[in-house]
Amino acid sequence: MLAQQLANGLFLGAVYALFAIGYTLVFGVLDILNLAHAAIFMATAFAAIALVGAGLPLALAIAIAVVFAGLLGIALDRVAFAPLRARNAGTLVPLISSIGVAIAIGGVARGLFGPGEHRFPSGTLGPLGEGRIHLGALAFSGLDIVILGVALALMGTLAYVMRATSLGRAIRAVAEDRVAAALLGLDLERTIALTFFIASALGGAAGILIGLQYDSVSLEMGSRIELKGLAIVILGGMGSITGAVIGAFILGAVEVLSVAYITSSYRDAVAFGVMFAILVLRPSGLLGKRALRTA
């Protein structure tokens, strides 16, 4: 029973991690809180539904929707953050402009898709949706395995990009010291745009996976995960990718366990209680901001 709960926590944590990485990546590079991240998460899930509805196979629909999410991220930066960056507007104003974009994205989604719960067309999952896979005492659906696999593959790719490519070096350099990076000839705006592409693509992928997992996509799905994402990022340490991943798996496990063994009604309070305690006792989180710089 405990093992099954922990396995469920693992699936949940993997998706949380994808989402939270987006927050922490943008914060690490720009020191701003991007409150439009959850809107992109939601919009991407809707985009995937629309693409599947138009007859595309699921894998292709996911790929196109994730690229769409990345481009949306770049657009977000150009509209809401780049002009403010140019005049050194501090941390409060970008927070507000990202809320503006989030409201606008929510409005477009409401206009195009309307309120209520939306589902992927039946049969989208094919054989993945049927039957259970048994592994000892554990049981999963094929979808669980695919979701975990996709999430881990994306995280692995990100780790590779951050450590071993010139783009990763550029992102870490900008996170370390923006001015010095620019002086050394780094194309600042291009690096920031690519950071937003990666952060939003991962957040969008998380949206699709959650939508598939619960077979439900709605306008409110973003606000449900938004603050949890913040809790994860604080737990792991603002700006730390590894920290966000660890924090996400911890939160996934804690949530599943508190539903199973304590009570479901205070499930979300546990997440925020942990976050609050971390902020009071150790504001730098499990792994402080340095981790993005040295990733």
Partner 1 sequence: MLAWFAAHSKLIDQIGINALLALSLSISLRSGQLALAQAAFMGIAAYVGAIGAVEAHWNLPLSLVIGSLCAAIAAALLALPLGRLRGVFLAIATIGFGEIARIVEINVKATGGAEGYANIPNDANTAWIYGTLGITGALILIFERSRAALAIAATREDESAARGVGIDVTAVRFGALVAGAALAGCAGVLYAHANYFITPSDFGFARMEQILVGCVIGGVTSSLGAVIGAAVMTILPESVRFLADYREVSTGAILLAIVLFAPDGIAGLWQRRA
**What are the residues binding partner 1 (CB under 8 A)?**
27, 31-33, 35, 79-80, 83-84, 87, 89, 91-93, 95-97, 99-108, 110-111, 114, 223, 226-227, 230-231, 234, 238, 265-266, 268-269, 272-273, 275-276, 279-280, 283
- From the list 41, 249, 20, the residue with the least C-alpha distance to 148 is 249
By beta-carbon proximity to partner 1, the closer residue of 180 and 269 is 269
By beta-carbon proximity to partner 1, the closer residue of 115 and 126 is 115
Least separation, in Å, of the C-beta of 223 and partner 1?
A: 7
- Report the C-alpha gap between 170 and 188 in whole angstroms: 9
- Report the C-alpha gap between 74 and 191 in whole angstroms: 11
Least separation, in Å, of the C-beta of 277 and partner 1?
A: 9
Least separation, in Å, of the C-beta of 125 and partner 1?
A: 30
By beta-carbon proximity to partner 1, the closer residue of 85 and 169 is 85
By beta-carbon proximity to partner 1, the closer residue of 56 and 99 is 99
Residues in the chain: 295
DSSP secondary structure string for all residues of 221-255:
HHHHHHHHHHHHHHHH-TT-HHHHHHHHHHHHHHH
By beta-carbon proximity to partner 1, the closer residue of 187 and 220 is 220
- Amino acid (1-letter code) at residue 152: L
The angle, 0 to 180 degrees and rounded to 10, between the axes of the packed helices 37-53 and 221-236 is 130
Least separation, in Å, of the C-beta of 32 and partner 1?
A: 8
The phi and psi torsions of 136 (rounded to 5 degrees) equal: 65, -125
Least separation, in Å, of the C-beta of 135 and partner 1?
A: 35
Contact 133, 141 (CB under 8 A): yes
